[in-house]
Amino acid sequence: MKIICIGRNYADHAKEMSAPLPETPIFFMKPETALLRTRDFFYPKFTSDLHYECEIVIKIDKVGKNIQEKFAHTYYSSLTLGIDFTARDVQKKCKENGLPWEIAKSFDQSAPLSKQWISFKDVSQNISFELEHNGDIVQKGCSDHMIFSFDQIIAYVSRFITLKKGDLIFTGTPSGVGPVKIGDQLKARLMGEEILSFYVR
């Protein structure tokens, strides 16, 4: 199983990062060891500027390579929410030196994920979600604000990498990303329903 994450998929987030809008999807990967499903998150020692990024996550249902956009919808049927934790200080150094982002993005437990999967049949076309940080709503997103749709992401990624059953795609974060500290609580809601809640320890 692998986790594919899309960068800069919301114009408002690209703007807050002073990054140009992408012409094709930008992706990076996290290993299976990044998943965190049932426990609280432990703040890693190698960063002092850890940021949350709340994202819609879709699960791949069957193997596929070079998937055409018009058939991409047959490759997934459920979604949930996850956090793409990012060591922003480490990522900044990687960017400045033209280095890969793995040490900033792909470390153990960097991908807390809700245990609750929701069928696409049960949601409207525009999927809204939000992240609450210590009681304040800090991120609000809607799938129709994504620069690249789920289908476009699948078509693009599968040109390079075979997608397999159980693979996850984190589809990018809206604006409002920010730092967490030990003791903080994060809660994520999909279409108004809380499906992920944990503490930073």
Residues that bind Zn ion (CB under 5 A): 53, 84, 173
Q: How far is the CB of 170 from Zn ion (least distance, A)?
A: 6
Q: How far is the CB of 84 from Zn ion (least distance, A)?
A: 3
Residue type for 110, please? Answer: S
Query: Residue 5 or 60: which CB sits closer to Zn ion?
Result: 5
Query: Residue 8 or 189: which CB sits closer to Zn ion?
Result: 8
Query: Residue 62 or 111: which CB sits closer to Zn ion?
Result: 111
Distance set, CA 100 to CA 84, 87, 127 (Å) = 16, 13, 31
Q: Is 89 exposed, middle or buried (0-12, 13-18, 19+ CB in 10 A)?
A: middle
- What is d(CA 142, CA 190) in angstroms, rounded to the nearest whole number? 10
Q: How far is the CB of 108 from Zn ion (least distance, A)?
A: 17
Q: Decide if 80 contacts 117 (C-beta within 8 A).
A: yes
Q: How far is the CB of 66 from Zn ion (least distance, A)?
A: 25
And the tokens for 8?
């800069």
Which stretches of the chain are DSSP H helices? 11-16, 88-96, 102-105, 150-160
- What is d(CA 9, CA 87) in angstroms, rounded to the nearest whole number? 19
Query: Residue 63 or 99: which CB sits closer to Zn ion?
Result: 99
Q: How far is the CB of 172 from Zn ion (least distance, A)?
A: 6
- What is d(CA 45, CA 90) in angstroms, rounded to the nearest whole number? 12
Q: How far is the CB of 194 from Zn ion (least distance, A)?
A: 21
Query: Residue 84 or 167: which CB sits closer to Zn ion?
Result: 84
Query: Residue 101 or 117: which CB sits closer to Zn ion?
Result: 101
- What is d(CA 23, CA 25) in angstroms, rounded to the nearest whole number? 7
Nearest residue to Zn ion, scored by beta-carbon proximity? 84
